[in-house]
Structure 1
């Protein structure tokens, strides 16, 4: 696949620009100033994508690490 118009193969710039500028009706400057997290929140809020699943809190993560240890000598920063 040839790279054109500054696009990186595999990254959907054209689709993101279409949704950001067309569906969300963001001015170009505002679209390009958004962080990925802000863009994702805007897309979720507009119903364009499903919300990301919640991440486990620290207590749940520690409980899972204790229940399913990696093995001897594993360092989990705890």
Structure 2
């Protein structure tokens, strides 16, 4: 299980900066619950998703403000 976690964490570490614009320190400082919540919102708003409307500019800016570590 540890090997799977390491592989998943490394994979996410490569994706998160592109998707969320986070630095490596921001990624590694986030809790799994924080990352899960944010990625859920992002994936629910992705094209073709049936679970949510796309994020508005205001919602995106609010997320950036709430989860900004800089």
Output the TM-score relative to the length of structure 2: 0.49
Output the TM-score relative to the length of structure 1: 0.45
Larger relative helix fraction = 2
When Rg is computed on C-alpha atoms for both structures, the one with the higher figure is 1
